[in-house]
Each structure stands twice: as structure tokens, then as C-alpha cells.
Structure 1
Amino acid sequence: MSNYAGHAVNKIYRTIATGLATARRAPELQADCRCHFCDEPVAGKLLFCDMDCRDDYQKMESAHRRAGRR
């Protein structure tokens, strides 16, 4: 029985390692004085003009990842 548990633990660790590697390879957004969602001008090093745009962008990116587009 412990052999099955050992295989399960190994699979869990591999799954976690794969997820971490994928997250580390994900490109980070660069500040370019424009909101990354609505393209409005933003001050300084901000990425989004407000929390709503940030949340909408994250929802859109999550949907793209689930659909396999990114």
C-alpha cells in the first residue's frame, strides 16, 4: 500500500513543479504609461488605470489560458 502512496506523492510534487515552472516563465507586464486593459494614459509606473481594469484584465488572461490561447 505504501508504494501507491509514494507514487501519489511523486505525482503531486511533479505537478507542483510543473506549475511553478510555468508560472516562472510567464511574461511580466511592463509599464508603458498606458492601461494594459483600456489603453487610457496612466501615471508613472502604473500598469492599470484602476482596480476594475486590473481585475478585468486578469479575468481575460485567465480565460485565454483556460482556452489554451496563451
Structure 2
Amino acid sequence: MSDHADNADSKIYQTISAGVAAARSAPALQADFRCHFCEEEVQLELLFCNSDCRDDYERLNQAIRRNGN
């Protein structure tokens, strides 16, 4: 017989699995010689020109996800 703890463990496992699957299926940024936030030219393998642009990009995307867009 399962008890409340077993049911809770199952629900937690399902939630974590769904989150991991969503993270793995999210499209990854590709390096293309430009900053993904400000469009400034960058070296081949960089995604952002500096940490400020990276942080601003992440904040903007988090806000978009929170607002459901």
C-alpha cells in the first residue's frame, strides 16, 4: 500500500522529470559573431560581448516567460 509520502515522492519525481525534459528541449543559442543582446560583434565562440549583456538577456527572457509571452 502506498502512503502519502510515496505519493508525494512520485509527484516530486514527475515534476523534476518534466522540468529536466523542458530544459533539454529548449533551443540553445548559437554563436554567430554578434552579441545576442546588443548585436555588437564578438569573437566566434562567444554569445555575448560582456557579462552585463548576458545578464540583461537572461533578465529579459525571464520577464517574458513570467508574463507568458
TM-score by length of 1: 0.90
Distance between the aligned counterparts of 2:28 and 2:67, measured in 1? 20
Aligned residues: 68
2:42 is matched with 42
Segments of structure 2 that go 5 or more residues without pairing to the other structure are none
Q: Please tell me the residue identity of whatever aligns with 2:12.
A: I
Q: CA RMSD in A?
A: 1.0
- Equivalent position SS for 2:68: coil
Cα distance per residue 1:7-62 (max 9 Å; x no partner) = 11100000000000100010000011010000111111110000000010011111
Q: Partner of 1:19 in structure 2?
A: 19
User: Equivalent residue of 2:3, what SS?
Assistant: helix
Which segments of 5 or more consecutive residues in structure 1 lack a partner in the other structure? none
Partner of 2:62: 62
Letter in 1 for 2:33: C
Q: Runs of 4+ in structure 1 displaced over 4 angstroms?
A: none
